[in-house]
Amino acid sequence: MADDKQTLLRQIPSVDAVLKQLDSEKAGIAPEYITKIARDVIDQVRADFLSDGKAPKGDIATHIAGQITAQINSLTRPYYRKVVNAAGIVLHTGLGRAVLPAAAMTQLQQEMAGYSLLQVSVEDGKRNARDGQIERMLQLLTGAEAATVVNNNAAATALVLNTIAAGKEVIVSRGQLVEIGGSFRLPDVMAFSGAKLVEVGATNKTHLRDYENAITENTAAILRVHPSNYKIRGFSSEVPLKELADLAHANGLTMFDDVGAGSLIDFTPYGFEKEPTLLEAVNDGADVITSSGDKLIGASQAGIILGNADIIKKVRKNQFARIVRTDKLTLAVLEATLKLFLDGEKPFEQVPTLKMMLRPLESIRKQASALAAKLRKAGLPCEVQIIDGFAQAGSGSFPDQNLPTKLISIDTQAMTGVALSNRLRHHTVPIFARIQDEKVCFDPRTLLAGDDKIILEALTEILGA
């Protein structure tokens, strides 16, 4: 056995031998980096063999050359690139969340390609707040006294807590101790901020008296966290924000409202369950409010902080604010998106997140029928059906709201649904679909212009062969 292992190890080629097989002149990577990649691949093949005793299938040199080429290709093409979201999740965390409005992309291309105005006044040439334009828009849209922006809502929450309550107590309902994506939990965020968590109530019910009884001389704030990624149903209740704000102000405390997904419009007239809006949070008396900039606003990932002018001024001066500040690209996208909300019906027409979430079922059915007809006409070895299904808003917004949709179901004897899904993800333009009843399904709700053609081309390439 030892002799067999040594024989196989001797078959592993040297770095020089492998490099001679590669057409490195057209690789798009300098020779020294190709050499580093080759050495890493060979070391990994050797380590894998020594750990499990299994050699690569086929010729080892060919296998190694293929691994090196794959790494080179991965490094020389964009990783952050266009994909087709046929999964029916509007705000897909893994696929870039909010699709940016065309107005935002135009602003990036036309205004941000060279030097751009960021943190200096054209009036007097002096340094100013880089998010001043965003602040003015949010003042108009929400009625808040002031606003600022950081790089995401978790940062916004931690920054505000550190500003208003470092070393002091913050009261939170047990039913609102949320966990967001990546296992980030509110108690951990609060501990990082330096504030001390005081839990009140029960998981399903918290009363105003629970907050009253928890107030001490060391209490700095009451925090309401909107659980935007789950719902508690049945025998449950929470104290309305206005009542909490009145209690906080009667005791000289700060009322902090973390709205989570955030929204500038009320979705209930369109058949959605009630979600708090930023305007309502301001009107109900919150002193400081945080929310995401993408999600239900549909802009770039950011953390919006708005509310009392004195608190926002302190937040801006906090040393952590520089650590989590946004860059010019984020601000430009947020500006272009918020501008749409200032103009009547434009957000419903031009913010892709809103268009997809509010898209009529009949429009989806027509698109599904058209794509299904094209697939059948292509004569591919598969059964194409249109079935009922549900889409989702995604990314911690409307967690309990299923959006009725129509799915294009593909059933083929050529391969399993899992295998077909895998092939679709490896297409030139990766296609992410869903698997239902072991069949690949495409949801038109999240397809953009031109995606139908990409799906047809991919299935023709995969199944036509």
pLDDT in tens, 30-66: 889 999 999 999 888 888 878 776 767 778 888 888 8
Q: What is the CATH number of the domain that holds 114?
A: 3.40.640.10
pLDDT value, residue 24: 61
Same domain? For 212 and 63 the reply is: no
pLDDT value, residue 65: 87
3-class DSSP state for residue 283? helix
- The count of structural domains within the chain is 3
Same domain? For 35 and 154 the reply is: no
Last residue of a domain, one of 332, 350, 368: 350
Rounded CA gap, 327 and 325, in Å? 7
* Cβ atoms within 10 Å, residue 268: 10
Q: In the predicted model, what is the mean pLDDT of the chain?
A: 91
Last residue of a domain, one of 324, 350, 376: 350
Rounded CA gap, 85 and 91, in Å? 10
Same domain? For 171 and 273 the reply is: yes
pLDDT value, residue 1: 47
What phi and psi values does residue 177 have, to the nearest 5 degrees? -85, 75
DSSP H or E run through 173: strand 169-173
Same domain? For 277 and 414 the reply is: no
Amino acid at 465: A
Report the b/e string of 362-373 with b at 16+ CB within 10 A: eebeebbeebbe
Same domain? For 286 and 201 the reply is: yes
Same domain? For 320 and 398 the reply is: no
Please, which residues have CB within 8 angstroms of residue 59's CB and are 6 or more apart in sequence? none
Same domain? For 199 and 220 the reply is: yes
Range of 43's domain? Answer: 2-76
pLDDT value, residue 313: 97
Same domain? For 203 and 324 the reply is: yes
Please, which residues have CB within 8 angstroms of residue 337's CB and are 6 or more apart in sequence? 100, 101, 103, 104, 297, 298, 299, 300, 351
DSSP 131: T
Q: What is the CATH number of the domain that holds 437?
A: 3.90.1150.180
Q: What is the pTM of this model?
A: 0.90
Same domain? For 123 and 64 the reply is: no
pLDDT per residue as tens, the chain (465 positions):
455 667 777 778 888 888 887 776 667 888 899 999 999 998 888 888 787 767 677 788 888 888 998 899 889 889 999 999 999 999 999 999 999 999 999 999 999 999 999 999 999 999 999 999 999 999 999 999 999 999 999 999 999 999 999 999 999 999 888 777 666 788 888 899 999 999 999 888 899 999 999 999 999 999 999 876 556 666 668 899 999 999 999 999 999 999 988 899 999 999 888 888 999 999 999 999 999 999 999 999 999 999 999 999 999 999 999 999 999 999 999 999 999 999 988 999 999 999 999 999 999 999 999 999 999 999 999 999 999 999 999 877 887 788 999 999 999 999 999 999 999 999 999 999 999 999 999 999 999 999 999 999 999 999 986
Please, which residues have CB within 8 angstroms of residue 317's CB and are 6 or more apart in sequence? none
Last residue of a domain, one of 292, 325, 350: 350
Same domain? For 340 and 381 the reply is: no
Same domain? For 261 and 128 the reply is: yes
pLDDT in tens, 110-155: 999 999 999 999 999 999 999 999 999 999 999 999 999 999 999 9
DSSP 348: H
Same domain? For 382 and 242 the reply is: no
